[in-house]
């Protein structure tokens, strides 16, 4: 079973709009990460947020973490066609050493 579940499963927006996707998880975590996967490629690490952090920024990315609700969100501001990809959250559960558990992903289409 997957620790993280993303919502929505798919998202279609116009270039310049913001894209928001959410991730929920089940057990206590050390940290939560977001990855991007372009079609037919490997995953690329975007951002990591630790369990004692509430918000983190990296360029046009903003990640929030609410450990009381066991949820995180990824916001991509001013989206570009190049942001078209699948986005996955991955959690590092406290009881699982350094293993990562991935969610099913959100497919984002940014239309020019």
The CA distances from residue 70 to 22, 31, 32, 56, 63, in Å, are 11, 11, 10, 16, 14
The minimum distance between CB 31 and other proteins, in angstroms, equals 6
Are 23 and 73 in contact by the 8 Å Cβ rule? The answer is yes
33 vs 79 by CB, closer to other proteins: 33
Return residues touching other proteins (CB under 8 A). Answer: 2, 4, 30-31, 33, 40-45, 48, 88, 90, 92, 97-105
The minimum distance between CB 44 and other proteins, in angstroms, equals 7
């Amino acid at each position: 079973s997957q620790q993280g579940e993303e919502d929505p499963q798919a998202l279609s927006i116009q270039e310049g709009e913001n894209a928001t996707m959410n991730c929920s998880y089940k057990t206590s975590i050390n940290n939560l990460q977001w990855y991007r996967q372009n079609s037919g490629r490997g995953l690329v690490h975007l951002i990591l947020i630790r369990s004692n952090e509430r918000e983190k920024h990296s360029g046009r990315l903003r990640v929030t973490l609410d450990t009381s609700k066991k949820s995180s969100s990824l916001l991509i501001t001013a989206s570009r066609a190049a942001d078209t990809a699948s986005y996955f959250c991955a959690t590092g559960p406290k009881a699982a050493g350094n293993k990562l558990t991935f969610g099913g992903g959100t497919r984002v289409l940014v239309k020019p």
